[in-house]
Structure 1
């Protein structure tokens, strides 16, 4: 497609429009790592299975607030120690990594505390985010287009004329912590680990607002100004 060239009868103006807004997060993701260690492989594996089941039970108990639940990795491996001229297995260490996505933050603090209070269990997060199809993205684009039109009109009015038609509108980029998805959910995640403290009070977790931005480039023709 050939690009239309500006002429004295159809001068052009090209502008950039930006949209920016801050919204509450829609998702919270946490990572849970369960560990087990023992001198006997079957016993270590049984402990790991039991602890992992307890974690899954707590997460699934969240009902509709649980958006997704995934097991990311599993491992069990021997730990070798040297004795004399050879190597002997001293212990077996197992680990399971689970990632959960929650859509309701009402009980998130209590959930994180209960998970972190489990034996040999650590919790990372939360990472806050927007849904990939969040309406915030469309609103940011709308604001960007609106600003582009206003900016182009301001240039036209400065010349004593007005806009005639839109020639081109292109997306110059859309960004924000809730994009699908940089591995950033806004804010540094915290880490929690069980320390055998018994029933700990629920953590007070404040959702961090998300910044969404959009940029467009727009090209218009103007009616010939009287210079």
Structure 2
């Protein structure tokens, strides 16, 4: 842009959002898709109790909740995190009786456990499912937000953008000049870290409302689900004027 009466050659000139014949621009998108092993697995545990008296149901629920927590924590370092979620206790009305007559009280406690040892995962889920009136859901496989796989995907997407821009420049028998812009338009895991990730399996208690099983069940053989990591970037470069 030639200087005007209001500007001097030494003053910075405003950038234009497009190229010029002397400095053409090229815009490309770089993409990466990695498939990697999961780093963590989560399971959901629901402990329940039912009794004719509220205090009886609450006492049973407290005891069963403690047993489930003790079992999970007994796996030591294999369990990275254990958290208690929602707790409910509610009356169950008799539909055949007049008025609001309570037939029983139902109580539930929801627990989530996060494991990094997938060998222990199958054994723990089986032992939890053997507990009385206990439901087990999962596992949900995931990567940590700080997983190196995310960084690797982003870097691969940038390299792919540079390579694609070079190929376009070579097709015009010219070379790239400078990087003008690099925009991150998404680098996310297909299996999110949060619990909205879709469960790959759901396991329910076999004991239901019956008694505890006489023999220990064999550990479940769980195969970790591969995780898909995506990254995309938009990049703009200048290139030397081609001879067309």
**Residue of structure 2 in register with 1:159 after alignment:** 172
1:53-68 to 2 correspondences below 5 Å: 53-68=66-81
Q: 2:59 aligns with which of 46, 67, 70?
A: 46
| Residue in 1 that maps onto 2:205 | 193
Query: 1:28 and 1:3 mapped to 2: Cα distance?
Result: 49
What is the rounded CA distance, in whole Å, between the counterparts of 1:60 and 1:84 in structure 2? 44
Return 5+ residue gaps in structure 1 as ranges.
none
Q: How many Å separate the matches in 2 of 1:84 and 1:29? A: 43
1:100 matched to which residue of 2? 113
1:86 Cα offset (Å): 2.0
CA contact (8 A) 2:141 2:225 kept: yes
Q: In the alignment, does 2:176 pair up with 1:131?
A: no
Structure 1 residues 179, 79: closer, same or farther in 2, change over 3 A? Answer: closer
Residue 14 and residue 83 in structure 1: after superposition, are their counterparts in 2 closer, same or farther (change >3 A)? closer
Partner of 1:225: 242
Cα distance, 1:84–1:154 mapped onto 2, change above 3 Å: closer
Q: In the alignment, which residue of structure 2 is the partner of 1:80? A: 93
User: Contact 1:129 / 1:177 at 8 angstroms: preserved in 2?
Assistant: no
Looking at CA atoms only, which structure, 1 or 2, has the larger radius of gyration?
2
Tell me: CA distance 1:57–1:201, structure 2 relative to 1, closer, same or farther (3 Å).
same
Q: Deviations over 1:134-163 (max 9, x none)?
A: 010000001100100000000000000000
Residue 78 of structure 2 contacts residue 120 of structure 2 at CA under 8 Å; is this kept in 1?
Answer: no
More strand by percentage: 1
Q: How many residues align?
A: 226
Measured in 2, the distance between the counterparts of 1:6 and 1:115 equals 64
Provide TM-score, normalisation by structure 2. 0.88
- Correspondence for 2:184: 171
Classify 1:102/1:215 alpha carbon distance in 2 versus 1 (closer, same or farther; 3 Å): same
Partner SS for 1:188 = coil
Hey, what's the Cα distance between the residues in 2 that align with 1:50 and 1:182?
27
Alpha-carbon separation, structure 2, partners of 1:182 and 1:51? 24
Contact 1:77/1:94 (<8 A) preserved? yes
What is the distance in 2 between the residues matched to 1:79 and 1:3?
A: 70
| TM superposition score normalised by structure 1 | 0.94
| Partner SS for 2:168 | helix
| Alignment-derived partner of residue 33 in structure 1 | 46
